């Protein structure tokens, strides 16, 4: 049985990946969607042509991970694509933040993603793909978004290294590094702070980012950066000292 497995599939980018991959893959048996909210997962499943398996799980908890491990061992699917979209961000000064929220970002954005990748790799074969949702925040430290940016730097670095390790098995990993995307992400992020106005000016649609990500994954590219603004930002973060850019961000703030 050939499957696509998507985490964070109940909203935002995860939903968009489910919708587009449903159209892209014609020889896939099932799409497995994982998120905490079963109701939202079932609503997404109604729009998909493929047979869909809804798995309402909190990937930061031990019991759901064990349940998924057991399910994989019993079903023995071939995972043709793993898409790790589960994650969230919280804006605001670290000192004034809720430490549970900050640690939660590390749990979901880093630990759960790493564990899911490790869990799924034994079921991947030649030409399987892994898509990891990083962020353009991975390119530069982000004051008022410090932990989130650090978690995405981890995802970006981990994904690029893993891509090199797995190439001999002909399994390819793509880190997706979008800028601001028009999803419910900011509804959560801005509960404790506000983002730079310039970031809102570079807002793009989720379907555009996902379409580019699927294309870059198909061509075995190690990263996917959508749009001229974010590609320019990536270049600036490479050639200009970070302290200069950070001073500029402080001035804009």
What SS3 state is found at 7?
strand
Residue 53 tokens, joined: 């398996």
82-111, pLDDT tens digit by residue? 999 999 999 999 999 999 999 999 999 999
Kindly tell me if the per-residue pLDDT of 191 is higher than 80: no
The mean per-residue pLDDT over the stretch 229-236 comes to: 90
Half-sphere exposure of 71 (CA within 13 A, CB side): 16
46-67, pLDDT tens digit by residue? 999 999 999 999 999 999 999 9
Kindly tell me if the per-residue pLDDT of 184 is higher than 70: no
Calpha distance 215→208 (Å, rounded)? 11
Which of 92-97's residues contact partners 24+ apart within 8 Å by CB, and which partners? 92/144, 92/192, 92/193, 93/144, 93/193, 94/146, 94/147, 96/192, 97/192
9-35, pLDDT tens digit by residue? 999 999 999 999 999 988 899 999 999
């Amino acid at each position: 049985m050939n499957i696509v497995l998507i985490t964070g599939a109940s909203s935002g980018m995860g939903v968009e990946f489910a919708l587009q991959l449903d159209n892209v893959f014609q020889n896939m048996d099932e799409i497995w969607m994982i998120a905490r909210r079963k109701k939202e997962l079932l609503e997404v499943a109604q729009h998909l042509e493929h047979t869909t398996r809804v798995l309402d799980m909190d990937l930061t908890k031990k019991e759901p991970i064990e349940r998924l491990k057991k399910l994989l061992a019993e079903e023995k699917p071939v995972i043709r694509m793993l898409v790790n979209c589960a994650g969230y961000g919280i804006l605001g000064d670290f000192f004034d933040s809720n430490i549970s929220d900050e640690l939660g970002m590390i749990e979901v954005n880093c630990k759960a993603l790493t564990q899911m990748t490790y869990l799924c790799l034994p079921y991947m074969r030649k030409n399987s793909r892994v898509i990891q949702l990083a962020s353009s925040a991975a390119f530069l430290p982000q004051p008022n978004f410090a932990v989130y940016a650090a978690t995405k730097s981890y995802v970006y670095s981990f994904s690029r290294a893993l891509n090199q390790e797995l190439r001999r098995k002909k399994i390819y990993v793509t880190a997706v590094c979008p800028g601001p995307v028009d999803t419910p992400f900011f509804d959560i992020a801005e509960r404790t702070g506000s983002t730079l106005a310039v970031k809102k000016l570079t807002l793009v649609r989720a379907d555009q980012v996902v379409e580019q990500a699927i294309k870059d994954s198909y061509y075995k590219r190690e990263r996917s950066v959508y749009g001229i603004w974010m590609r320019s930002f990536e270049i600036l973060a490479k050639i200009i000292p970070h302290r200069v850019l950070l001073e500029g961000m402080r001035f804009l703030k």
